[in-house]
Structure 1
Amino acid sequence: MKEKIIFMYRAIQLAKKGLGSTSPNPMVGCVIERNGLILSEGWHYQAGKSHAEVNAINMVKDISLFSDSTLYVTLEPCVHFGKTPPCVDLILKRNIPRVVIGVRDPSYKKKGLGIQKLKEYGVEVIENVLEDQCRFLNKRFFTFYEKNRPYVILKWAQSDNGFMDYSFNNKKDRKRFWISGIYSRQLSHKWRSEEDSLLVGKKTVLNDNPKLNVRKWFGKNPIRIILDRNLNISTSYFVFNGEQHTIVFTEKKKENKKNIEFVQISFDKGIIKNILNHLYQKKILSLIVEGGKMTLESFIEKNIWDESRIFLCYRSFSLKKGLSAPIVDGKILKKVDIDDNDKLIIKVPF
């Protein structure tokens, strides 16, 4: 059993290399072992490209070596034709006698079918090796198929005494103000590159004119999602520059523009579920909610969130008054010191 755990851990490490580039597919890693040594490795690089099993199998030039090998894979091999052929068929073609699987595919169309076909053709299948770790690896993918919505991450920064912004009388008095430090902001941009979409409310756009893209890291920009009930945001704001896909939820009817999609929706008590359902239909697996306070609290009040990432910032100043930060209950998953001033607290629901 120890050997199985070692090789599955390696497969998980490989799978993580696909973070931010495989959606709407899962991250998958694969190790092929023979006589206690790694024969080859592979992972799923990008949606639409070869799967992890195919990449690992194709690394081996002498196919006779497969006859006494074991294939380790973090997620059940696919059995359907999509953009690429089924991985199960290639495993059978190469006569790999044993397959060790981390966790079953949660898709109702695929769950268990790959395992069933492998067994039907005489392959020894061992399941649920490091199952919890393999589920956590693809928490976005599992949430999407089990809850029929994207994985929701709430994110904000707050001062040590509980404020997320200072008070100002009008927009002219507002100045660029950072509660968090440069390393925390860089980490936020890294997160943006890893998720499918990013949501803010109208006030955040009007107050800060954010670009909502990836500038302090490398990777793809998320889909920008804006809540603007009455279309009060001017087209001169960065969110309308057309440089990345943007979805605007509004009660007004408006024609789509280049890279900008207007979705007419009722801003009633069911708005959060309706937004998430729209994203689900578009196969958007994950969403970061960055603000503002009312938008964050609307997700908290409905208890529709999977993770909160809160920067607790201790600076040379302390806000005496201002906009109080949201309060979210949950189990603390991790505490990390970003630098001497900023601490990251990650929570998950109880």
Structure 2
Amino acid sequence: MTQQVHKTDEDYMRQALALGRFGLGNTAPNPAVGCVLVKDARIIGSGFTQKSGRPHAEAMALDEAGKDAQGATAYVTLEPCAHTGQTPPCAASLKKAGVARVVYAIDDPDPRVNGGGAAMLRDAGIEVERGLLASEARRDQLGFLLSKTDNRPMVTLKLALSANGFMRTPEGEAPWITGALARNMGHLLRARHDAIMTGSGTLKADDPSLDCRLPGLADASPVPVVMTNGDLPTNRKLAQRENLIVTNAAPRDVLADLAARGITRVLLESGPTLAAAFLADDVVDELALFTAPHEVAMSGESDISQMQLDLARFSKTHAAMLGPDSYVHYCRERKN
């Protein structure tokens, strides 16, 4: 006899969160939201924010559910919007569809919403609950949240280190510290960010492409940003990128400019000097740390030591082995 599985509000919200993550790196300047519609213990509609923010997650879920949305519960990772833009307000669409209950994770700090979506739903007699799995949703939405509260995108610092703390290999050796699986994860991180940043040292040493080379994700390559005090040599690979941004501003000024361009998520792939500058300015929100099991034959102070990285300021969120290499992801807890 098959045992029936009874899902809870938390289960459905986790599904909405998982859906929302499909949009990371693809929806800026809009948030990457997930939505699940449930009726009689059955999912009748689901969706996540599409490219450039349209359509919204709620609209996709309602379209799939059709008339069955009457009396359903909507699980949404961000407060439904209350303003009219290119599309009608999602709160109004949920009301029109006859949804009976809305459970959302976190408030939308956008001044055009900021409680207005929840108020619109309550005024229509819809039961509204907020705060379910809020910390997880806040982590997913951090780039969007910071763009509204701190005038900057979120920053993920990606580091690939040898066992003795170096990001480089001796001259004449293969340039990669980690193996293929770890490098593929690095490319997936690129696809989940709107922009990727490096400095002049990395540009000179590696001539990086800073694109996403996973099959099917080439179009998800982030906007390249180079921080340098000089001109970008025309023989560098990045010089061929039409959307390249070159700047010599300080970290916080660069981030403010990127926020003004609608960028909400930045991946920092640089050497120890630029990484140290961002850490010193306290604008690193997440850390993706890849560590190889072998040492490299380098002398002097290690790169990780030069950065003065204080891991105690971060919380470990997940870890995995990628072949012989370890991958640990950390987040800096911030109040928004």
TM-score, normalised with respect to structure 1: 0.85
Cα deviation, residue 5, structure 1 = 1.7
Q: 1:217 to 1:189 in 2, by over 3 A?
A: farther
Give the unaligned 5+ runs of structure 2: 1-5
Give the unaligned 5+ runs of structure 1: 169-173, 251-264, 266-270
Cα deviation 1:109-143 (Å, max 9, x = unaligned)? 31101111111222221111222222222222223
Cα deviation, residue 298, structure 1 = 0.8
The equivalent of 1:318 in structure 2 is 296
Cα deviation 1:276-297 (Å, max 9, x = unaligned)? 1111111110111111221111
The equivalent of 2:3 in structure 1 is none
Cα deviation 1:242-290 (Å, max 9, x = unaligned)? 3x4110014xxxxxxxxxxxxxx4xxxxx11111111111111011111
Aligned partner (choices 185, 188, 191) of residue 190 of structure 1: 188
The equivalent of 1:277 in structure 2 is 256
The equivalent of 2:203 in structure 1 is 205
Cα deviation 1:140-187 (Å, max 9, x = unaligned)? 22232232211111112111112222455xxxxx66521111111111
Aligned mates of 1:2, 1:157 — CA distance in 2: 39
Kept in 2, the 8 Å contact 1:167–1:322? The answer is no
Q: 1:58 to 1:167 in 2, by over 3 A?
A: closer
Cα deviation 1:69-128 (Å, max 9, x = unaligned)? 222211111111222221112112222222121211122331101111111222221111
Q: 1:332 to 1:78 in 2, by over 3 A?
A: closer
**SS of the residue 1:140 aligns to:** helix
Q: Does 1:336 align with 2:320?
A: yes
Amino acid at match of 1:6: D
The equivalent of 1:346 in structure 2 is 329
The equivalent of 1:241 in structure 2 is 240
Aligned mates of 2:136, 2:254 — CA distance in 1: 30
Kept in 2, the 8 Å contact 1:48–1:83? The answer is no
Identity of aligned residues (%): 29
Q: Does 1:46 align with 2:51?
A: yes
**SS of the residue 2:269 aligns to:** strand
Q: 1:159 to 1:78 in 2, by over 3 A?
A: same
Aligned mates of 1:41, 1:185 — CA distance in 2: 32
Kept in 2, the 8 Å contact 1:332–1:345? The answer is no
Matches within 5 A, 1:121-200: 121-166=124-169, 176-200=174-198
Aligned mates of 1:8, 1:93 — CA distance in 2: 22
**SS of the residue 1:163 aligns to:** coil
Kept in 1, the 8 Å contact 2:73–2:99? The answer is yes
Amino acid at match of 2:9: K
Q: Does 1:84 align with 2:87?
A: yes
Aligned mates of 1:60, 1:159 — CA distance in 2: 50
Q: 1:247 to 1:129 in 2, by over 3 A?
A: same
Q: Does 1:223 align with 2:204?
A: no
For the pair shown, the structure with the greater C-alpha radius of gyration is 1
Kept in 2, the 8 Å contact 1:227–1:248? The answer is yes
Cα deviation 1:172-214 (Å, max 9, x = unaligned)? xx66521111111111111111101111111211111111111
Matches within 5 A, 1:290-309: 290-309=269-288
Q: 1:138 to 1:226 in 2, by over 3 A?
A: same
Aligned mates of 2:303, 2:247 — CA distance in 1: 24
**SS of the residue 1:68 aligns to:** coil
Q: Which is worse superposed, 273-282 or 46-55?
A: 46-55
**SS of the residue 1:154 aligns to:** strand
Kept in 2, the 8 Å contact 1:33–1:70? The answer is yes
Cα deviation 1:43-84 (Å, max 9, x = unaligned)? 2222242111111111234x2x44422222111111112222
Q: Does 1:101 align with 2:104?
A: yes
